[in-house]
């Protein structure tokens, strides 16, 4: 077992506990709230689902598509590979995956980059679609 601060052994953390810890650090948003915030220009929706899921299920109109393995590079306002939408560390970003699990871990990473208003969509794209919100074909 790895030694933590003060030489105390750190026990391994399972994914359920890790998600619980990560999510305790911010407030997740529901589909309707994300939709309204994006429409008002108060949030950037970022779809991190991989291509096969986008092709199968469709896209959220207006969402920035950034595959998960490029997320930090595209959203770091100081990065040389950032997307034009990555304008500041104060940007409210709502990360969307398929069901709302991978997006929580992505938010943790974005917050470490200083994107303090980063959050994710509870239930992911599937919750968006179930709420009857707009979906477009790819």
For 119-130, b/e burial (b = at least 16 CB within 10 A) is bbbbbbbbbbbe
Give yes or no for a contact between 129 and 135, defined as CB atoms under 8 angstroms apart: yes
Going from the N-terminus, what domains does the chain have, and what CATH number goes with each?
Answer: 37-130 (3.40.250.10)
User: Hey, how many other C-beta atoms are within 10 angstroms of the C-beta on 99?
Assistant: 14
DSSP 52: H
The pTM of the full predicted model, rounded to 2 decimals, is 0.90
User: What is the Cα–Cα distance from 7 to 5, expressed in whole angstroms?
Assistant: 6
- Report pLDDT digits (tens) over 7-61: 677 889 899 999 999 999 999 999 999 999 999 999 999 999 999 999 999 999 9
User: What is the Cα–Cα distance from 8 to 105, expressed in whole angstroms?
Assistant: 26
User: 119 has which bridge partners?
Assistant: 94
Give yes or no for a contact between 91 and 78, defined as CB atoms under 8 angstroms apart: no
- Report pLDDT digits (tens) over 16-26: 999 999 999 99
What is the DSSP track for 33-47?
HHHHHHHTTS-EEEE
Give yes or no for a contact between 46 and 92, defined as CB atoms under 8 angstroms apart: no
- Report pLDDT digits (tens) over 84-104: 999 999 999 999 999 999 999
């Amino acid at each position: 077992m790895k030694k933590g601060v003060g030489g105390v052994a750190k026990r391994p953390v399972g994914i359920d506990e890790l998600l619980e810890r990560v999510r305790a650090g911010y407030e997740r948003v529901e589909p309707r709230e994300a939709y309204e915030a994006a429409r008002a220009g108060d949030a950037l929706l970022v779809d991190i689902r991989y291509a096969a899921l986008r092709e199968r299920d469709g896209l959220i109109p207006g969402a920035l598509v950034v595959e998960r393995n490029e997320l930090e590079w595209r959203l770091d306002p100081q990065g040389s590979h950032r997307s034009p939408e990555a304008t500041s560390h104060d940007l409210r970003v709502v990360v969307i995956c398929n069901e709302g699990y991978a997006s929580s871990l992505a938010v943790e990473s974005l917050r470490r980059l200083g994107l303090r208003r980063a959050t994710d969509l509870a239930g992911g794209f599937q919750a968006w679609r179930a709420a009857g919100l707009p979906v477009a074909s790819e």
